[in-house]
Amino acid sequence: MRVVNRILVSLLVTLALLASNTATAEESAVSASCFVKSKSCVPAKFIKQAKSKSLSNPAILVTDPATGVVLYQNRPDSPSVPASVMKVLTSYTALTFLGGDKRFATSIYRVETGTTFMIVGERDPWLTMFRSVSLKYGPAFAPDLINVALAQFGEGERPKRITLLYSKLYPSDVAGLKSHFKSGDVKVTFKEISSKEAKLRSDEPLYQILSPTVNQMVEFLIRFSDNRLADRLAVHAAIAHGYEGDKRGLQQSYQDALLAREIGIDGLNVEDGSGLSKQNRITSRMVVDLLNKTRGLPEYQSLYQGLPTSGKTGTLKKRFKESAPDAVGLVRAKTGWVNGSVSLAGLITSGDKEYTFAVIADRIPRYYSATERARAAIDRMIGSLAKPANTEILEASG
């Protein structure tokens, strides 16, 4: 009887120890289905980088969306500081609630006297004060509105002063217009009016400019990580969905968009659309699930078209060339960086497969050399999975 009791006690202790280690084991577990022919789903080089000091125990998830197999995971459900990978969620939310074909109109009218004009906008997220930017990337050139108004006057008739009423323009855009015309030969006096008053005074516009579509904006902000554009689209999406454009409205609109695709929101915290705030929190699983569930949907293709290509385009143009040269052209991903956090999320071409991944290393030291080491480690890690089409997909790790 004593022997039986000792066996029972030993068994209970063992079970208790196993239970206490469950959470830790689950954080770094790899799907059992990966161990059919090799000791790991990923190369030894991947694991070496994933566990390197340069990344300080990052949140990682890599999946094969075609089969549902998890190739590797480490803290996939840990809320982490995403940096600009936040823009993946922002783009998805904007496309969900604004639609990819949405454009923003900004019009100028002549009202009252011959020297009073009125600009009525829709808070175009991408107005620019720079002609070169407009020609190269497509945003509307705001000063054209006033230039057209001034062109209404014949030679020798141009007044020395005009009054410009305006409604629904961003304060920064108004400031840009003021600066642009400050040194001109016509003094422009700006006066804000309400939307109601603007509507009463509106007739046929002298001129109207239309923004690029939301699809075009999303493609640009993903490729070049435009912070201002991302923040503005996030606010527009929240308002279009029926919320205020504040932190609470952003949080709720992101949650609703994710839940609509049955993507978990545990740990989500939205402070801005750009990812600049270190109070933002997402999980690597959120990003991977989002990519897996929207990859083939036409309404979200601008997000994927905008993803920079390793060593070739956008914010990845200079990466992978030295850190993982064999992966140049084979990784398409959104980059991210703020002090203390480096992230990357997107797609890997691996032979005849395409893997989805998210890496968020938000525990690294807050100085430049640590950031550079983290970037290189992520490039080597993700690059170890990249293979050109029609070649052997993965090497088995020892």
If residue 357 lies in a helix (H) or strand (E), which one and from where to where? strand 353-361
Q: At what angle do helices 86-98 and 247-260 cross, to 10 degrees?
A: 80
Helix segments in the chain, DSSP class H:
2-20, 22-28, 44-50, 86-98, 131-137, 143-150, 171-181, 195-201, 214-224, 227-240, 247-260, 284-294, 301-306, 368-383
Alpha-carbon gap, residue 106 to 86, rounded angstroms: 29
Q: What share of the chain is helix, strand, coil (3-state, %, to 5)?
A: 40, 20, 40
Mean pLDDT of 4-27: 42
The reported pLDDT for the residue numbered 137 is: 84
pLDDT band at 12 (very low <50, low <70, confident <90, very high): very low
The structural domains of the chain, with segments of one domain joined by +, span 29-99+216-383, 105-212
Half-sphere exposure (Cβ direction) of 339: Cα atoms closer than 13 Å: 2
Q: Which amino acid is at 212?
A: P
Range from 5-9, 80-84, 388-392 carrying the lowest mean pLDDT: 5-9
Which one is predicted more confidently, 215 or 182?
215
List pLDDT tens digits, range 148-179: 999 888 877 888 899 999 999 999 999 999 99
Pick the more confident residue, 21 or 116.
116
- Say whether pLDDT at 2 is over 50: no
CA proximity to 390, closest of 362, 358, 353? 353
Rounded CA-CA distance 74/164 in Å is 57
Tell me if residue 196 falls in helix, strand or coil. helix
- Predicted pLDDT of residue 16: 44
pLDDT of residue 39: 56
Dump pLDDT digits (tens) for 206-221: 999 999 999 999 999 9
Residue 16 identity: A
| Rounded mean pLDDT, 187-209 | 91
Q: Which residues contact 226 (CB under 8 A, 6 or more apart)?
A: 220
Among candidate residues 363, 318, 308, 315, the one with its CA nearest the CA of residue 339: 363
For the record, the structure tokens of 221 come out as: 């902000």
Banded pLDDT at 125 (limits 50, 70, 90): very high
User: What CATH number should be reported for the domain whose range is 105-212?
Assistant: 3.50.80
* pLDDT for position 305: 97
The answer to whether residue 257 scores a pLDDT higher than 90 is yes
pLDDT in tens, 349-385: 999 999 999 999 999 999 999 999 999 999 999 999 9
- In whole angstroms, what is the distance from residue 272 CA to residue 281 CA? 11
Q: Is the pLDDT of residue 191 over 50?
A: yes
| Residue 381: closest CA among 167, 5, 62 | 62
| Alpha carbons 368 and 383: distance in angstroms, whole number | 22
Q: How confident is the model at residue 129 (pLDDT cuts 50, 70, 90)?
A: confident
Please enumerate in sequence order all residues whose Cβ is within 8 A of that of 242, keeping only pairs 6 or more positions apart, or say none: none
In this structure, CATH architecture of domain 29-99+216-383: 3-Layer(aba) Sandwich (3.40)
Q: Does residue 43 carry a pLDDT above 80?
A: yes
Angle between helix 86-98 and helix 227-240 axes, rounded to 10 deg: 40
Q: Given a cut of 70, is residue 263 above it in pLDDT?
A: yes
Q: Give the CB-side neighbour count of residue 105, counting CA atoms within 13 A.
A: 6
At residue 34 the predicted structure's pLDDT band, cuts being 50, 70 and 90, is low
Cα(329)–Cα(309) distance, integer angstroms: 6
The mean pLDDT of the chain is 89
Distance CA 280, CA 290 (A): 17
Tell me the per-residue pLDDT of 46-84, one tens digit each, with 9 for 90 and over.
999 999 999 999 999 999 999 999 999 999 999 999 999
The Cα 395–Cα 2 span in angstroms is 52
**Tens digits of residue pLDDT in 265-294:** 999 999 999 999 999 999 999 999 999 999
